[in-house]
Amino acid sequence: MAEASRILQTSLIPNFHPFHKTHISQLRPAVTSFRRSPSTNIHCSSVSTTDQNTKTTPTQNAIPWGCDIDSLENASALQKWLSRSGLPDQKMTIERVEVGERGLVALKNIRKGEKLLFVPPSLVISADSEWSCVEAGEVMKKNSVPDWPLLATYLISEASLLESSRWSNYISALPRQPYSLLYWTREELDRYLEASRIRERAIERVTNVIGTYKDLRLRIFSKHPDLFPEQVFNLETFRWSFGILFSRLVRLPSMDDKFALVPWADMLNHSCEVETFLDYDKSSQGVVFTTDRPYQPGEQVFISYGKKSNGELLLSYGFVPKEGTNPSDSVELSLSLSKSDKCYKQKLEALRKHGLQASQCYPVRITGWPLELMAYAYLAVSPPSMSSQFAEMAAAASNKSGIKKDLRYPEIEEEALQFILDGCEFSISKYNKFLQQSGSLDLDVTSPKQLNRRLFLKQLAVDLCTSERRILFRSQYILRRRLRDIRSGELRALKIFNALMAILSDMSHVKGCNVTNSIE
């Protein structure tokens, strides 16, 4: 896991890309220059979110803006504001839905291949958007702050102005506290996701956010306290703004892959069964998506957030699709070199030349595992006699393109498959332990509010672990079958060899007898 101090050296972690997904991942955000009316050139004001001496946690409502995640009142106000601001008439409206709590529902018949939304660039938030607090925006851009931290700060700045900001209706409709893993406490991550590798991803993400905030505080905010008061620009508000970005930011291919928040479009919920994404349409000059199926009035309209695993969807969006419904689902399998290996140092050196470590994680899908994983397994089990091939194996274990991945070493294939199987079975044992104990995890909670939250988070964790274990079970079955085939083939070959040797022995014996008889 990257340390915050190292991350901060990379200019406010430019690695904050939809890595793990930006809302509607694979969609790339639209971004254009915006014009603001002269009346919006106002000075910043402060809004006290909480007493400075009060330590807040993700379970507390320390954010004074936004709304409950299932609120329709603020969403309705957003819809009216968008219409007044130039959003054309839509064939969809915001309603309470079964999947996603709030979503866009068809008002009329919608055909397959029809373009919807048409959100104009003037209603899109990007790094080019003008700041209500002009001085704050100038300071951020003067310091060349990357898009992600810049947008996070911009969102807080506009939110703190409440109704003075042109984006007040949009911000009021945003969730005050989503259920993404960014809002889980460390205790909750350790308690519910101990078996899943997504826990490490969540911890790393939290570390990155904290590192970004501390760097901004040190380099910029502390030098301009009048523009960035700590009562407003603090760790809790940054946790909120980054949570919004991770769950709603998009990239639009036709707009040079710039990042943006697209009001109205981010009310669309995800379905694993659709493959349609947002993009900027030059002909209509708006952000649109093209439906890949028809919708009847009253049906919820869906979009794809990208080909994400259940763990990645939980990480950024706070939900887990129903088991078996996500064709892009995967689980990260952790494998490690054995320190007792006589060639441990030599193998580790070969891995490090390609940016790899002694312990590596590879995604395993229901359909199989990547060639890189098999290459790593070959390296892990290879004997000293194959040292000349360590470099080739390590290169194939990396994600670098242009390197031959489909390596075959028949002499150690059985050992490599067994190595992967052992890794699967070890991971399965951790999932089994969690799922067996999950029923008693919350018996010590007395507060009804805390109990409801924990039960909800636990159910998400159970759903995730069940789906990830299912993939490992499938991999376990495939590995055992292949090992059985190899071993039965070896057994057949051994039997044939023994039979052949017996025949040769008999022939030799008969020939020896004839010779003896001839001598006599």
Known binder of ligand: residue 317?
yes
Q: List Cα–Cα distances, 449 to 182, 414, 458, 460, in angstroms.
A: 20, 53, 14, 17
Cβ 309 vs Cβ 328: under 8 Å = yes
- Is 409 known to sit in a ligand binding site? no
Q: Which among 238, 236, 217 is positioned nearest to 228, based on CA atoms?
A: 217
On whether 89 is known to bind a ligand per the annotation, the reply is no
Residues 106 and 298: beta-carbon distance below 8 Å: yes
Q: Where are the alpha helices (DSSP H) in 220-370?
A: 235-248, 310-317, 344-352
- Residue 400, CB-side half-sphere exposure with 13 Å CA sphere: 15
What are the DSSP calls for 206-241, one per residue? HHHHHHHHHHHHHHTGGG-TTTS-TTTSSHHHHHHH
248 annotated as ligand-binding: yes
Has 376 been labeled as part of a binding site? Answer: no
Q: Do the annotations mark residue 270 as ligand-binding?
A: yes
**Angle at the Cα of 170 from the Cα atoms of 165 and 42, rounded to 5 degrees:** 5
CA distance 146 to 127: 9
Residue 23, annotated as binding a ligand:
no
* Bridge pairing between strands 125-126 and 260-261: antiparallel
Contact between 383 and 349 (Cβ < 8 Å): no
Task: Name the CA dihedral angle for 340, 342, 346, 347, rounded to a multiple of 10 degrees.
Answer: -60
**Main-chain dihedrals φ then ψ at residue 300, nearest 5 degrees:** -75, 135
Residue numbers belonging to the annotated binding site: 248, 266, 269-270, 280, 305, 317
Binding residues for S-adenosyl-L-methionine: 248, 269-270
> Binding site for substrate: which residues?
248, 266, 280, 305, 317
